Structure 1
Amino acid sequence: MISLAVLVPLVAALLVLVNVVGDDPEPAADSPVADVSGETPAPRGDLPPVDVDTPDVTPEADLACPALMGQLPLELAGETSRMVRSDTLFAYAWGDPAVVLVCGVAPPAGFVLGSSPIEINGVQWFVDTADPETVVWTTVDRLVPVQMSVPASTDSALVTAASTIIATAIPYTEPAPGPLPAPTN
């Protein structure tokens, strides 16, 4: 005799199987059908490649940057990634006009005593607005600095979105501003 403890799961499994497989290969006329006629986001490569100058790779960058680069998404803050031409694998870009990320740059020269970094999603950034065409954001609290060059006509949404990824991928280090520059006469 079959026990009730065995019979109940067997009946439940049989009911699930009948509902999943069914005996009608055609969906009912009133069954909802997914609409697949919409446009898909542009795949990486539809935008022209971006030429990116990158610094020589340091041993620290060679250790830290692959973790970040492996986590960067094909779409960030609604912008599609695009191909990059550079001397290292530590450069990435999104959107048009391009927002460019480079991992393993030199610390920003303008980050001196008295500078106030901007903190976004747990990452401290030094923001250089000296170039009227491009705003350069550089991390000052990571084992290796990460730089994002953002066209002045673009907002900082990609920096905000990338901050979360950078915070988890590259270890924190205490920010160390350089000394104030000597006064010139």
Structure 2
Amino acid sequence: MTESPASDGPPRALLIAAIVVAVSVLITVLGIAASRQRSPQQRPVAIPSIPAPQADSAHCHDLLNALPQQLGDFRRAPTVDPTPPGTAAWRAEPDAEPVVLRCGLERPTDFVVGTPLQVVDEIQWFRVGDSGAGSPAAYAEDQGRSTWYAVDRPVYVALTLPAGSGPTPIQQISGQIARTMPAQEPVPAPAR
């Protein structure tokens, strides 16, 4: 009897196909790993410290704990230590200007009786105009950004938005504020 060499193992074509599939999977996995290493990490956002006497309040803690990881195209970003209490930041791209939230601030000095407010999803917002140095608005204005204060809650919440950010960040933050803080009548300063 003569033995057939084909009966000693799997067919040669099947063996070649298995090797090709294994190599393809390995190349794909290595390619994905390499592209993740090349994609830039988000730089931490430096948030300047300003007076925020109620930043450690229960209202601010509740809001910060409820903040989403994403605001439209903006993803939660790390912050430079020491991070001021009551703050958070998001970025659309690793080096893009951030959205910055501050909770527990003092009443904005420009918020006086008769000041126009804008309502976004149940929250009354005041857009800060010209302000002194060291305020969120002064920080924002030198970068073409705008700062809005939620003025109808137990603590003031400021949201600084980059130019062209669209309505999504303020809408989503409005929803979180409405869910975590009770509404109250705004208390503007007497008109000057």
The TM-score, its normalising length taken from structure 1, stands at 0.67
Q: Render the CA deviation track for 1:107-139: whole Å, top value 9, x for unaligned.
A: 111111111211101110001244361201001
Partners of 1:92 and 1:72 in 2: how far apart?
9
Q: Conserved in 1, the CA contact under 8 Å of 2:54 and 2:155? A: no
Q: Render the CA deviation track for 1:53-85: whole Å, top value 9, x for unaligned.
A: 234453574221110000111112231110123
Following superposition, the deviation at residue 50 of structure 1 comes to 0.8
Following superposition, the deviation at residue 104 of structure 1 comes to 0.6
Partners of 2:153 and 2:129 in 1: how far apart?
21
Is 1:47 equivalent to 2:42 in the alignment? yes
**Count of residues in correspondence between the two structures:** 140
Correspondence for 2:74:
79
Correspondence for 1:142:
153
1:159 maps to amino acid: I
Alignment gaps of 5+ in structure 2: 1-28, 131-140
Correspondence for 1:89:
85
The TM-score, its normalising length taken from structure 2, stands at 0.65
Is 1:163 equivalent to 2:169 in the alignment? no
Aligned counterpart for 1:70 among listed residues 65, 74, 82: 65
Following superposition, the deviation at residue 89 of structure 1 comes to 3.5
Q: Conserved in 1, the CA contact under 8 Å of 2:55 and 2:105? A: no
Query: In 2 relative to 1, CA 60–51 (structure 1 residues): closer, same or farther, beyond 3 Å?
Result: closer
Is 1:179 equivalent to 2:179 in the alignment? no
Following superposition, the deviation at residue 88 of structure 1 comes to 3.0
Partners of 2:113 and 2:54 in 1: how far apart?
27
More helix by proportion, 1 or 2? 2
Partners of 1:156 and 1:54 in 2: how far apart?
26
Q: Conserved in 2, the CA contact under 8 Å of 1:150 and 1:156? A: no
Partners of 2:153 and 2:56 in 1: how far apart?
11
Alignment gaps of 5+ in structure 1: 1-36
Where in structure 2 are the equivalents of 1:1-150 lying within 5 Å?
Answer: 46-58=41-53, 61-85=56-80, 86-95=82-91, 96-130=96-130, 131=141, 133-150=144-161
Moved over 6 A (4+): none
Partners of 1:77 and 1:61 in 2: how far apart?
27
